[in-house]
């Protein structure tokens, strides 16, 4: 018999429950951010970050490495978070922004803006188009897969959405005025954080922040959804609103990320899966942990592409896919065994 | 009347599921919803808690239409135990039970001492305290059913709706669950339970509502509802009904002559 | 950016003047009318081969040129290509035209292999990786076309330029880079590097140890501090600009405020053909004008 705590204990912020884990993850983020700032082809001291004046060290730190690290944090965090949120919403560990087609649809939106030269005239068109693309993919998923999709339906809906977006992107590459434009589109699609500027960060930040808030605010509903939709409704949740919030949040987060970094897949799959046991498999507690976990994974991967010696640049999206795809396979295998 | 509904009509996919059903519930009552498969019991239950919206008619909780209730306030009034509740993630028993406190939590916050106490009470009542750290999916079917029961109790709603809570339980746990429901209904708290076992229904319910084909056939104390005439008309069975010291004993003895099932099944 | 505009105008003007001379030379019929065998009839299924043919062959030798890519490979030979039939790189067309020689390239291997089975003689042009191999390919193609003299003219020009380069003191060299949207640059083992060096521009990418063409980190570029930044993807080519338009990056503006940004059409080095002397000429012109400019970097 356990002692029952005295009634009247005040309510605590939910996030405090995992304080040790979150502090640990946050420390890793800080550490990796420092490492990300320190790694690069040019030997530059960290002091360049606060140096005034136009020394190469100051410029490299302030204009290149800082935006790169910040974007890794922002993009990785939103990808990890939206993966966790989507998995909670669909109650399926295979859900991920890339696998449900949101990333490729966002890429399609971005490619169209770039293709027609809208970006040069109106930079905001880039994130807006990418977000719209991602939103369309989420809507398509709801339409196709219904409210409670099984693993198979989910993957099929994702394939349908991805191939639809992929075909239009292929058309853009096909009709590119010269091979170099085609190559540019292809390389951009591979996903990278190399040589971005603070402008890119500021462009994406407001959308990402809004997305993060929408996703985090749905945590309790995701917990309730663990018991199915009916029970979640009787626990006081408006599921139409929850779906709306999560769809919009995912689209905002993924769309703005793709707009500045290209497609980076599998972060949203790998991170929640690794962290789930540490938060007692509880969807709500998984959200802040995955936010930090995504930051860690992408920071580490982005340091990795700089450290792995290749003659030509190794793209960040390629590295995450190389690691993520086998992971996905194993996960499909495990899920299939459970579902049979 | 804490809950009342009249003339509920609902059709799904062209079939009439509820056809002018009236329902009322007083404080402290245990009401059993009985009837053959497809009679509309579950749909009635879903209408009463706002999961399904009747095409015609309305449900009033404390004199106020369900639509008028704020979601969270309504959720605090109603504990709902669905027929088979999935648990999509392998969470610990205590965490699953604590989900019942969600209607009480302000946004972004976890539970206070009251919430934790309610969770502990619910686990004790269902005899699962010793399982609190186990993952739900590692439990037996009966244990899982009790976890869901505890989760529903943890809500602390004054109305407890249970849809076939004893399905798949061994007799010992059936009695344990029914005892629990019976004890739960006291003071302002009432219970509405869908049952197939007529003896359990007779023993634990103050009142039975017998449904068939979307209508209420009989509504009253068990002795008035569980009559050979009703059972023959609704279930198509011949039943021996004996008055035991602790309630009625209903023993189905065979299909009645008029049963539609009689043609295909040898008696 | 007035300075950039000026530089670009000067370069383009010079190029046009030189090319017109080359084109006229190629267009004029051979002076001698010997009993040598008739020049072979040639068909091109490669965009760079188009450039070689237009610069080195007689017009009536050219059966057809492959369609497409003119903006990139032939911007200054467009006029000369008018009226010449275009093919779509199909074996059907090749069989119908029955050329004496089929000029193919790195991107048309399969077509060429199939055409070979029908008894067509294939000559494959490669993308040269240095001036020496470009020079060899020019003279080889010219000889094959029956116009050895034209090849020798261009080779002579190249030789003179190489001699000039050898005589130029290293102190007159400038540092430079070809850097394009997307962060793409050329390393030491490329024709571009060879052309730049001959014109007196030290390729900073080669100094960074990169051999091939590919993307480079902007911070490496900033550390290398080039004096000239050439963008070989001319804006007027109506190419989609990708989000990472590196050339507008604030770090580049801050770190290299005085760098000479010059747009220099890719056509000069894409094929390594008759454009080689023109490229060297205009690049060394750049070095001369930049060398006199007050903002010159050491």
Average pLDDT of the residues in B71-81: 94
pLDDT at B157 over 60: yes
Domains of chain C, first to last: 2-17+156-292 (3.40.50.1980), 41-125 (3.40.50.1980)
- Predicted pLDDT of residue A81: 97
- Predicted pLDDT of residue A12: 63
pLDDT at A6 over 50: no
Best CA proximity match to A233, nearest among A244, A249, A221: A221
**Which of residues 20 through 49 in chain C touch A, CB cutoff 8 A?**
none
Average pLDDT of the residues in B27-56: 94
Give the tens place of pLDDT for each residue, B118-144: 999 999 988 899 999 999 989 988 889
Q: Are residues C225 and A56, on separate chains, in Cβ contact within 8 Å?
A: yes
Please provide the DSSP assignment of A29-56 as one string. Answer: HHHHHHHHHH-SSS---GGGGT--S--H
Nearest-neighbour CA in chain A from C234: distance (Å): 11
Nearest-neighbour CA in chain A from C149: distance (Å): 34
Distance CA C284, CA C162 (A): 12
Of the residues A236, A238, A278, the best mutation for testing chain B's interface (the one with the most B CB atoms within 10 Å of its CB) is A236
- Predicted pLDDT of residue B113: 84
The SS3 of residue B106 is: coil
Q: Are residues A5 and B113, on separate chains, in Cβ contact within 8 Å?
A: yes
Please work out, in degrees rounded to the nearest 5, the angle formed at the alpha carbon of residue A174 by the alpha carbons of A173 and A179. Answer: 70
Higher-pLDDT residue of A53, B206: B206
Higher-pLDDT residue of A154, B218: B218
> Which residues on chain C are in Cβ contact (under 8 Å) with A192?
244
pLDDT at B263 over 70: no
**B92 token code pair:** 């610990």
Average pLDDT of the residues in A49-68: 90
Nearest-neighbour CA in chain C from A45: distance (Å): 13
**By the 8 A CB rule, do C185 and C159 touch?**
no
Give the tens place of pLDDT for each residue, A165-200: 999 999 988 887 666 667 777 877 888 898 888 988
- Predicted pLDDT of residue A15: 65
Both B119 and B206 in one domain: the answer is: yes
Average pLDDT, chain C: 82
| Cross-strand partners of C87 | C66
Q: Are residues C241 and A119, on separate chains, in Cβ contact within 8 Å?
A: yes
Least confident piece of the model among A3-12, B184-193, C72-81, C99-108? A3-12
* Residues of the domain holding B238: 227-267
Task: Quote the DSSP letter at residue A65.
Answer: I
- Closest A-chain CA to C185: A312
Residue whose token pair is 């879903």: B46
Both B77 and B109 in one domain: the answer is: yes
* CA C210 from centre of chain: 21
pLDDT at B230 over 70: yes
Query: How much of chain B, in percent, has pLDDT values that exceed 90?
Result: 65
Give the tens place of pLDDT for each residue, C59-75: 999 999 998 878 777 77
Of the residues A1, A235, A239, A280, the best mutation for testing chain B's interface (the one with the most B CB atoms within 10 Å of its CB) is A235
**C131 token code pair:** 């001036």
Both B92 and B73 in one domain: the answer is: yes
- Predicted pLDDT of residue C20: 46
Residue A176 is nearest to which of C217, C233, C240, comparing CB atoms? C240
> Which residues on chain A are in Cβ contact (under 8 Å) with B80?
230-231, 234
Both B234 and B213 in one domain: the answer is: no
Q: Are residues B120 and A4, on separate chains, in Cβ contact within 8 Å?
A: yes
Taking the Cβ of residue A177 and every Cβ of chain C, the question of whether any pair is shorter than 8 Å is answered with: yes
Strands C201-203 and C101-104: unpaired
Q: Are residues A234 and B111, on separate chains, in Cβ contact within 8 Å?
A: no
Average pLDDT of the residues in A238-257: 93
Residue whose token pair is 């339970």: B193
Taking the Cβ of residue C220 and every Cβ of chain A, the question of whether any pair is shorter than 8 Å is answered with: yes
Both B103 and B93 in one domain: the answer is: yes
Give the tens place of pLDDT for each residue, A97-115: 888 889 999 999 988 887 7
Q: Is B54 exposed, middle or buried (0-12, 13-18, 19+ CB in 10 A)?
A: buried
Chains B and C share 3 or more Cβ pairs within 8 Å: no
Q: Are residues A281 and B109, on separate chains, in Cβ contact within 8 Å?
A: no
- Predicted pLDDT of residue A107: 92
| Predicted-complex ipTM score | 0.90
Distance CA C292, CA A201 (A): 40
Q: Are residues B96 and A7, on separate chains, in Cβ contact within 8 Å?
A: no
Average pLDDT of the residues in B63-85: 92
- Predicted pLDDT of residue A135: 94
* Distances in whole angstroms, Cα of residue B200 to Cα of each of A171, A223, B191, C23: 68, 34, 14, 104
Sign of torsion over alpha carbons A211, A217, A218, A219: positive
Please provide the DSSP assignment of chain C as one string. Answer: -HHHHHHHHHHHHHHHHHHHHHHHHHHSPPS---SSPPPPPEEE-SHHHHHHHHHHS-GGGEEEEESS-HHHH-TTTHHHHTT--EE-S-HHHHHHH--SEEEE-TT-HHHHHHHHHTT--EEE----SSHHHHHHHHHHHHHHTT-HHHHHHHHHHHHHHHHHHHHS-GGG-EEEEEEETTTEE--TTSHHHHHHHHHTEEEHHHHTT--SSEE--HHHHHHH--SEEEE-S-GGG-PPPPS--GGG-HHHHHH-TT-EEEE--THHHHS-STHHHHHHHHHHHHHHHHHHSTT---
Average pLDDT of the residues in C87-102: 92
Least confident piece of the model among A221-235, C184-198, C229-243? C229-243
Taking the Cβ of residue C223 and every Cβ of chain A, the question of whether any pair is shorter than 8 Å is answered with: yes
Distance CA B22, CA B14 (A): 21
Task: Find the chain A residues whose C-beta atoms sit closer than 8 A to any C-beta of B.
Answer: 1-2, 4-17, 91, 217, 219-220, 223-228, 230-231, 233-238, 276, 280-283
Q: Are residues C254 and A54, on separate chains, in Cβ contact within 8 Å?
A: yes
CB atoms within 10 A of CB C37: 7
pLDDT at C294 over 50: no
Least confident piece of the model among B38-42, B185-189, C175-179? B185-189
Query: How much of chain A, in percent, has pLDDT values that exceed 90?
Result: 52
- Predicted pLDDT of residue C245: 67
Both B237 and B216 in one domain: the answer is: no
Nearest-neighbour CA in chain C from A176: distance (Å): 8
> Which residues on chain C are in Cβ contact (under 8 Å) with A114?
240-243
Of the residues A184, A257, A314, the best mutation for testing chain C's interface (the one with the most C CB atoms within 10 Å of its CB) is A184
* Distances in whole angstroms, Cα of residue B209 to Cα of each of A57, B45, B192, C227: 82, 12, 10, 92
| Beta-carbon contacts below 8 Å between A and B | 120
Both B151 and B110 in one domain: the answer is: yes
Give the tens place of pLDDT for each residue, A199-213: 889 999 999 999 999
Q: Are residues A226 and B88, on separate chains, in Cβ contact within 8 Å?
A: yes
* CA C38 from centre of chain: 30
Average pLDDT of the residues in B204-218: 95
Residue B71 is nearest to which of A15, A236, A281, comparing CB atoms? A236
CA dihedral C126, C131, C136, C140 (to 10 degrees): 60
Taking the Cβ of residue A142 and every Cβ of chain C, the question of whether any pair is shorter than 8 Å is answered with: no
Both B259 and B215 in one domain: the answer is: no
**By the 8 A CB rule, do B93 and B139 touch?**
yes
* Distances in whole angstroms, Cα of residue B178 to Cα of each of A258, B32, B184, B245, C31: 55, 11, 10, 18, 114
Give the tens place of pLDDT for each residue, C213-265: 888 888 889 999 999 999 887 554 445 455 446 778 889 888 988 888 888 88
Whole-structure pTM value: 0.85
* CATH homologous superfamily of A84-339: ABC transporter involved in vitamin B12 uptake, BtuC (1.10.3470.10)
Give the tens place of pLDDT for each residue, B242-256: 887 777 888 888 887
Nearest-neighbour CA in chain A from C68: distance (Å): 9
Taking the Cβ of residue C235 and every Cβ of chain A, the question of whether any pair is shorter than 8 Å is answered with: no
**By the 8 A CB rule, do A269 and A99 touch?**
yes
pLDDT at C132 over 90: yes
pLDDT at C18 over 80: no
> Which residues on chain A are in Cβ contact (under 8 Å) with B132?
2
- Predicted pLDDT of residue A9: 57
**A48 token code pair:** 């360049």
**C16 token code pair:** 């046009």
Nearest-neighbour CA in chain C from A60: distance (Å): 6
pLDDT at A85 over 80: yes
Q: Are residues B117 and A238, on separate chains, in Cβ contact within 8 Å?
A: no
Both B70 and B145 in one domain: the answer is: yes
- Predicted pLDDT of residue A126: 87
Both B106 and B236 in one domain: the answer is: no
Distance CA A337, CA C103 (A): 58
Both B194 and B234 in one domain: the answer is: no
Nearest-neighbour CA in chain C from A83: distance (Å): 25
Both B191 and B123 in one domain: the answer is: yes
Task: Quote the DSSP letter at residue A142.
Answer: H
> Which residues on chain B are in Cβ contact (under 8 Å) with A282?
89, 91, 95
Nearest-neighbour CA in chain C from A31: distance (Å): 22
């Amino acid at each position: 018999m356990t002692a029952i705590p005295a009634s009247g204990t005040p309510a605590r912020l939910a996030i405090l429950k995992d304080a040790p884990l979150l502090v640990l993850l946050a420390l890793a983020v800080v550490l990796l951010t420092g490492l990300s700032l320190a790694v690069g082809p040019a030997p530059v001291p960290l002091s360049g970050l606060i140096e005034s004046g136009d020394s190469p060290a100051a410029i490299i730190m302030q204009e290149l490495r800082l935006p790169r690290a910040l974007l890794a944090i922002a993009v990785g965090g939103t990808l990890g978070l939206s993966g966790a949120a989507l998995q909670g919403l669909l109650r399926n560990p295979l859900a991920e922004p890339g696998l449900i087609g949101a990333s490729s649809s966002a890429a399609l939106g971005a490619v169209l803006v770039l293709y027609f030269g809208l970006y040069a005239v109106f930079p905001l068109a880039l994130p807006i188009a990418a977000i719209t693309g991602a939103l369309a993919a989420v809507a398509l998923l709801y339409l196709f897969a219904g409210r409670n999709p099984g693993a198979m339906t989910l993957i099929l809906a994702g394939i349908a959405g991805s191939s639809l977006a992929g075909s239009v992107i292929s058309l853009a590459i096909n009709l590119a005025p010269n091979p170099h434009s085609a190559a540019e589109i292809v390389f951009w699609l591979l996903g990278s954080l190399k040589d971005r500027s603070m402008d890119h960060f500021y462009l994406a930040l407001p959308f990402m922040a809004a997305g993060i808030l929408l996703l985090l605010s749905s945590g309790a509903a995701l917990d309730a959804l663990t018991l199915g939709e009916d029970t979640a409704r009787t626990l006081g949740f408006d599921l139409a609103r929850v779906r709306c919030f999560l769809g919009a949040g995912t689209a905002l987060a993924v769309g703005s990320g793709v707009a500045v970094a290209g497609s980076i897949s599998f972060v949203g799959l790998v991170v929640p899966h690794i962290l789930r046991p540490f938060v007692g498999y509880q969807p709500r507690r998984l959200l802040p942990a995955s936010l930090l976990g995504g930051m860690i994974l992408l920071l580490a991967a982005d340091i990795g592409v700089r450290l792995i010696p290749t003659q030509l640049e190794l793209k960040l999206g390629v590295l995450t896919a190389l690691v993520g795809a086998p992971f996905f396979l194993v996960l499909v295998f495990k899920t299939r065994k459970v579902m049979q | 009347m804490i809950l009342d509904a009249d003339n509920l009509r609902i059709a799904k996919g062209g079939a009439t599921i509820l056809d002018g059903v009236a329902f009322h519930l007083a404080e402290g009552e245990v009401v059993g919803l009985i009837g053959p498969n497809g009679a509309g019991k579950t749909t009635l239950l879903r209408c009463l808690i706002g999961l399904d919206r009747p095409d015609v008619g309305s449900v009033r909780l404390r004199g106020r239409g369900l639509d008028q209730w704020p979601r969270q306030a309504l959720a605090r009034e109603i504990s709902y135990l669905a027929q088979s509740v999935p648990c999509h993630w392998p969470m610990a028993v205590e965490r699953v039970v604590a989900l019942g406190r969600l209607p009480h939590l302000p946004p972004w916050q976890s539970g206070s001492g009251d919430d934790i106490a309610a969770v502990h009470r619910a686990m004790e009542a269902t005899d699962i305290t010793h399982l609190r750290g186990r993952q739900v999916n590692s439990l037996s079917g009966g244990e899982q059913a009790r976890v869901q029961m505890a989760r529903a109790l943890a809500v602390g709603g004054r109305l407890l709706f249970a849809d076939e809570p004893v399905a798949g339980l061994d007799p010992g746990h059936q009695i344990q669950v029914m005892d629990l429901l019976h004890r739960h209904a006291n003071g302002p708290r009432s219970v509405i339970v869908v049952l197939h076992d007529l003896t359990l229904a007779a023993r634990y319910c103050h009142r039975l509502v017998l449904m068939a084909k979307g209508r209420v056939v009989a509504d009253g104390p068990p002795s008035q509802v569980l009559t050979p005439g009703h059972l023959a008309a609704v279930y198509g069975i011949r039943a021996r009904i004996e008055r035991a010291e602790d309630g009625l004993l209903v023993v189905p003895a065979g299909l009645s002559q008029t049963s539609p099932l009689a043609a295909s099944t040898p008696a | 950016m007035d300075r950039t505009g000026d530089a670009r105008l000067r370069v383009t003007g010079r190029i046009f003047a030189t090319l017109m001379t080359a084109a006229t030379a190629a267009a004029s019929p051979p002076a001698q009318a010997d009993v040598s065998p008739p020049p072979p009839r040639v068909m091109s299924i490669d965009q760079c081969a188009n450039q070689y043919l237009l610069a080195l062959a007689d017009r009536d030798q050219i059966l057809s040129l492959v369609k497409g890519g003119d903006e990139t490979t032939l911007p200054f030979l467009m006029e000369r290509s008018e009226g010449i039939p275009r093919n779509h790189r199909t074996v059907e067309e090749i069989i119908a035209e029955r050329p004496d020689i089929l000029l193919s390239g790195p991107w048309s291997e399969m077509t060429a292999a199939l055409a070979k089975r029908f008894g067509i003689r294939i000559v494959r042009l490669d993308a040269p990786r240095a001036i020496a191999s470009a020079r060899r390919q020019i003279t080889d193609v010219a000889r094959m076309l029956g116009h050895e003299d034209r090849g020798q003219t261009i080779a002579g020009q190249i030789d003179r330029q190489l001699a000039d380069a050898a005589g130029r003191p290293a102190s007159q060299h400038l540092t430079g880079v070809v850097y394009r949207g997307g962060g793409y640059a050329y390393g030491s083992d490329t024709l571009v590097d060879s052309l730049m060096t001959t014109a007196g521009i030290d390729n900073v990418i080669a100094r960074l140890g990169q051999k091939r063409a590919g993307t480079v980190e902007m911070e490496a570029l900033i550390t290398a501090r080039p004096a000239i930044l050439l963008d070989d993807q001319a804006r007027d080519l109506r190419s989609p600009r990708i989000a990472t338009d590196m050339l507008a990056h604030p770090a580049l503006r801050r770190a290299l405020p005085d760098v000479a940004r010059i747009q220099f059409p890719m056509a000069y080095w894409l094929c390594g053909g008759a454009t080689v002397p023109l490229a060297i000429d205009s690049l060394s012109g750049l070095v001369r004008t930049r060398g006199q400019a007050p903002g010159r970097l050491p």
